[in-house]
Structure 1
Amino acid sequence: MIRVPLSTGVELDVEVAGEAGNPVMICLHGFPESHRTWRHQVAEFARDHHVIAPDQRGYARSDKPAGVEAYTADRIVADLMALADHFGAERFTLVAHDWGGAVAWLAALRHPDRIARLVICNAPHPLIFQRSLFDDPLQRAGSQYIRSFRDPGLEARIEAMGLDRFFDGSFAPHVDTAAVAGEREAYLDEWRQPGALTGMLNWYRASQIVVPAMDEEPERPGWIDGPFPSIKVPTLVIWGMRDKALQPVQLEGLDALIDDATIVRIEDAGHFVPWEAPEAVNTAMREWLAKYPL
């Protein structure tokens, strides 16, 4: 791990692997993880890429700026581009999961000149996700936890119960226990860093996504029924079909929003597909990347 100061004013811990002269691959993790999301991919793709996997702002030992406004999508996309600039990457492959995928979708829309190839793992497209929260009861039900995570009193309740119980009650039941065996203490160590719990949760609080309660019918955002710009970057979407938080509806109509889309469904994996099914993910990535050489 190295410490990287960014022009955005934050410093991130970053895992770097592979030769500096190789094509750059930047990997963005989501909640509640860190660069370790990509432990199986870094080992594989460092053979022929310069792989850069940060702990994003708010996570682990990276900087945790105060205030919810510090975690808006604009700020985090700016971190990504500043990270690429730091390593001299004019163009790069972007690989992302969960909240990292939310950043990646927006970055691909705004910076198609910089992102050569996009790989998304179980991260919903913003248009489909917001629309499904209004139109799909299963997805709305599956996303009610976001409302809980936005509660400003959540940290106090977690502190009262203890991080160990929070891990065992809220995270462990949703993952492949065999795949995460031996990782529990690493997670708890990252979550115990000063400000980490609030930093991680602030990603949810800063998001503009509307999550209606099950018995609520708020005003429908007008943008979800209007035209939406397409992704111009060649995109591979890898989806663990056993995802309990993100329903298969997230794949419906996705190819119409991407000019050049490839969708790979992995039936025997859940939300954390990069490490639940690493061989399948790496194979899908290898086969797809070969079609789009840099």
Structure 2
Amino acid sequence: MAEYIQIPTPAGKFDALTSGPQDGRPVLLLHGFPEAAVEWSEQLSVLGAAECFAVAPDQRGYSPGVRPEQVSDYRMSELVGDVLAIAEHFGWERFDLVGHDWGAAVAWATAAGHPERVRTLTTVSVPHLDAFSTALRSDEDQAQRSAYMQGFRSSTAEKALLADNAKKLRQIYYPGVPEHHVDDYVQRLTEPGALTAALNWYRAARYDSGGIGPVEVPTLYVWSTEDVAFGSTAAMATAAHVTGPYRFEMLEEVSHWVPEEAPDSFTRLLLQHLVSHQA
């Protein structure tokens, strides 16, 4: 059973779920849009049983205690800063970093910019950000897959997603996300200011036009064939942007929501990756 805690940082208090002994191997798990730490329920349980200290925060904007109003407060440098601040709170010199969707984007940027802090990297769905940026410009399939982002950046996005009992917001989670998680996420995002904060991650992307560079830490990248948001072009190109030990795993017939739709397969890969890189 995961334990709820709050993590104080200079930016505010993050809500988080934890599992396992506090002196265990530190593993930080970053959720995606439009989710929360609950996304990692299965992984928290397994990691805790494996004597890891697993921490899954509700990230900036998702935690009510860290919900700034300015779009610029959601640029990548701030999100990476939150990762490091959480690690500092626990006194982690090095830690294993896991991310899905937007959490994967933050994880890629953290590992690229601070390799001395990241023991291993595990990313789900989102390819290396430089490979993704190239695919957006050169691959028509990826450009079409990513067209939804413009809608999320519009000033009417909140109204559209929440209309008719949040019908369009609920549709985002299908197929793949368990119904009880969907209800939890929708309840959270219908709280005042919550959905705007989550959408500000997309709106702040204009501040992050530069590349992140190669990743040198041991990396596992998991991509699924039925992911509607990320195609094969950037997924296959990611290997060229990792200079450290690299493992690519493709899950057949699985949607974008890998940690929740295929928890057994994904968690097995994650544990293998951690065991392979103990130092």
TM-score of the alignment, normalized to the shorter chain, above 0.5: yes
CA drift at 1:209: 8.2
Say whether 1:116 aligns with 2:119: yes
CA contact (8 A) 2:160 2:168 kept: no
Give the C-alpha shift of residue 28 in structure 1: 0.3
Q: 1:245 to 1:108 in 2, by over 3 A?
A: same
TM-score after normalising by structure 1: 0.88
Change over 3 Å in CA distance of 1:166–1:94 after alignment to 2: same
Q: Which residue of 2 aligns with 1:33?
A: 35
Corresponding residue number in structure 1 for 2:133: 130
2:238 to 254, 264, 270: 254
Corresponding residue of 2:18: 16
Q: Does 1:152 align with 2:155?
A: yes
Deviation, 1:163, is 4.1
The 5 Å alignment of 1:211-250 reads: 229-250=213-234
Counterpart residue number, 2:179:
181
Q: Structure 1: where are the runs of 5+ without partners?
A: 211-220
Per the alignment, do residues 262 and 158 of structure 1 end up closer, same or farther by CA in structure 2, a change over 3 Å counting? closer
| 1:208 counterpart SS class | helix
- TM-score for the superposition, normalised by structure 2: 0.93
For 2:227, give the aligned amino acid: D
- The match for 1:43 is 45
TM-aligned CA deviation for residue 183 of structure 1: 2.5
* Range with bigger deviation, 121-130 or 87-96: 121-130
Q: How many angstroms apart in 1 are the aligned matches of 2:181 and 2:116?
A: 37
Q: Which residue of 2 aligns with 1:284?
A: 269
Mapped contact 1:37–1:275 kept (Cα < 8 A): yes
Matched residue of 2:221: which SS? Answer: strand
CA shift, 1:290, in A, is: 1.5
What is the DSSP-based 3-state SS (H/G/I as helix, E as strand, rest coil) of the residue aligned with 1:120?
strand
Matches of 2:271 and 2:156, distance apart in 1: 44
SS at match of 1:19: coil
Provide the residue aligned with 1:216 in structure 2.
none
CA 1:172–1:114: 2 relative to 1, 3 Å: closer
Question: In the alignment, is the contact (CA less than 8 A) between 1:55 and 1:61 conserved in 2?
Answer: no
Q: Counterpart of 1:66 in structure 2: which amino acid?
A: E
Q: Could you tell me which residue of structure 1 aligns to residue 195 of structure 2?
A: 197
Equivalent pairs: percent with the same residue?
Answer: 31
Runs of 4+ in 1 over 4 A off after TM superposition: none
Q: Is the 8 A contact 2:120 2:219 kept in 1?
A: yes
The aligned residue for residue 54 of structure 1 is 57
More helix by share: 2
Letter in 2 for 1:72: R
Distance 1:251 1:56, change over 3 A: same
Q: Which residue of 2 aligns with 1:143?
A: 146
Distance 1:180 1:186 in 2: 10
Q: Which letter does structure 2 place at the counterpart of 1:250?
A: A
Query: Cα 1:93–1:144, aligned 2, differ >3 Å: closer, same or farther?
Result: same
For each residue in 1:181-231, what CA deviation from the matched residue of structure 2 results, as whole angstroms up to 9, or x when unmatched? 332321221112221110000000001389xxxxxxxxxx8x77xxx7321
Taking the aligned partners of 1:157 and 1:232, their CA distance within structure 2 comes to 41
1:66 aligns to what?
A: 69
Evaluate the alpha carbon distance shift between residue 172 and residue 252 of structure 1 in structure 2; reply closer, same or farther with a 3 A threshold: closer
Aligned residues: 274
Give me the whole-angstrom Cα distance separating, in 1, the residues matched to 2:94 and 2:206: 28
Aligned to 1:164: 166
- Which secondary structure does the structure 1 equivalent of 2:223 belong to? strand
Deviation readout 1:12-34 (Å, 9 max, x if unpaired): 10111110111100000010000
The alignment's C-alpha RMSD in Å is 1.8
Which residue of structure 2 lines up, in the alignment, with residue 85 of structure 1? 88
Cα deviation, residue 60, structure 1:
5.1
How many Å apart are 1:62 and its aligned residue? 4.3
Q: 1:268 aligned to 2:266?
A: no
CA contact (8 A) 2:42 2:263 kept: yes
